[in-house]
Amino acid sequence: MAKKAKTTTLLKGPALSAYARKKAAGLGLDGKGLKLADLVWAIQEKEGNTACFKKEETCNQTGCCWQLSCGAKMG
């Protein structure tokens, strides 16, 4: 069973961008020229998840690695 990566701290700005680009590269995605949200959505879709980063007010995806940086309230 594949282990899901989960951020344990709130990432913002350059740290969040670097994390997203590294994760995208590991999935074979080219994030060049994409805004951060677009890149995260592409990663979420590639992993078989809903592309919901910063789109929803509440979230029930407890295993999401973007959870702390997204801003949605867990519900």
List the end-to-end C-alpha distance of the chain, in Å, as a whole number.
Answer: 26
Per-residue pLDDT of 54-75, as tens digits, reads: 999 998 888 888 988 998 998 7
Q: pLDDT confidence of 8, banded at 50, 70, 90? A: low
Q: Is residue 24 part of a domain?
A: yes
Q: pLDDT confidence of 10, banded at 50, 70, 90? A: confident
Per-residue pLDDT of 33-58, as tens digits, reads: 999 999 999 999 999 989 999 999 99
d(C-alpha 59, C-alpha 47), whole Å = 17
Structural domains in the chain (count): 1
Q: Which domain holds residue 32?
A: 13-74
